[in-house]
Amino acid sequence: MKGSQIVKMFSEDKVDRIVEMAWEDRTPFDAITDQFGLTESEIIALMRHQMKASSWRMWRARVQGRSTKHRARRGFEVGRHRCSRQRHITLNKISKR
């Protein structure tokens, strides 16, 4: 399916959300498939249609072979990322140095 056909299937808000999710490094294509029913190739076609050529080439080079974009190849536990240096918040007060 072409990018222009995919755009017609969704509202502008949903297309923006799909592009946002595809642009994020930690969001796997499978999550977009689960939420919107698009295959990886349809997501790529949509991104090609929505982005400038130079931006699309940069995104494609970054995403190609990235293990975080494929749920089966993810080496870390699925969930929210939390920096090891992040301080704990106790009783709704941010810990001070």
42: left (phi over 0), alpha (psi -120 to 50) or beta: alpha
In a 3-state reduction of DSSP, which class is residue 54?
Answer: helix
pLDDT digits (tens, 9 = 90+) for 52-81: 999 989 988 888 877 666 665 555 555 555
Task: Give the per-residue pLDDT at 53.
Answer: 92
Q: What is the pLDDT of residues 85-97, one digit of tens each?
A: 655 555 545 555 4
The contacts of residue 31 (CB under 8 Å, 6+ apart) are 21, 71
- Other Cβ atoms closer than 10 A to 32: 23
The SS3 assignment for 7 reads helix
The model carries a pTM of: 0.65
